[in-house]
Amino acid sequence: MATNSHVRLAHPSQNDGVQMLRRGYNFTDGSNELGRLDAGLFFVAFVRDPEVQYIPMQTRMSAQDGLMEYLQHTGSALFAVPPGAAQDEWVGQGLFA
């Protein structure tokens, strides 16, 4: 396997055992002004600690990943997602109470 392949760089064995729950959403949005397909992937990952699980992996990939040749990054966002609420609890209570 190529040492700069996406799957190798993303594998836990190359990232101190780090794992993440991923949910990709493919999209196709017609053609752009050059007649090229306007398509891609919304990459979504669920992690407990972005500084430990996401940022180091993304930083390495942006420098080394062979897949980058075929990608154009258009935006990103980070959301805090509170856990489910137990009986008599409100959503986010563990974070804000």
Q: Which single residue brings its beta carbon nearest to ligand HEM?
A: 10
Which positions from 67 through 86 interact with ligand HEM, judged by CB under 6 A? 71
Q: Which of 4, 5, 58, 64 contacts ligand HEM by CB under 6 A? A: 58
Interaction of residue 47 with ligand HEM, rule CB under 6 A? no
Q: Which of 38, 43, 83, 93 contacts ligand HEM by CB under 6 A? A: 43
- Confirm if 2 and 14 have CB atoms less than 8 A apart: no
Nearest CB to ligand HEM, comparing residues 7 and 91 = 7
Q: Which of 41, 44, 85, 91 contacts ligand HEM by CB under 6 A? A: 41
Nearest Cα to Cα of residue 77 among 43, 51, 53: 43
- Confirm if 35 and 24 have CB atoms less than 8 A apart: no
- Confirm if 43 and 22 have CB atoms less than 8 A apart: yes
Q: Which of 5, 61, 66, 68 contacts ligand HEM by CB under 6 A? A: 61
Beta bridge partners of 46: 21
- The total number of residues shown for the chain amounts to 97
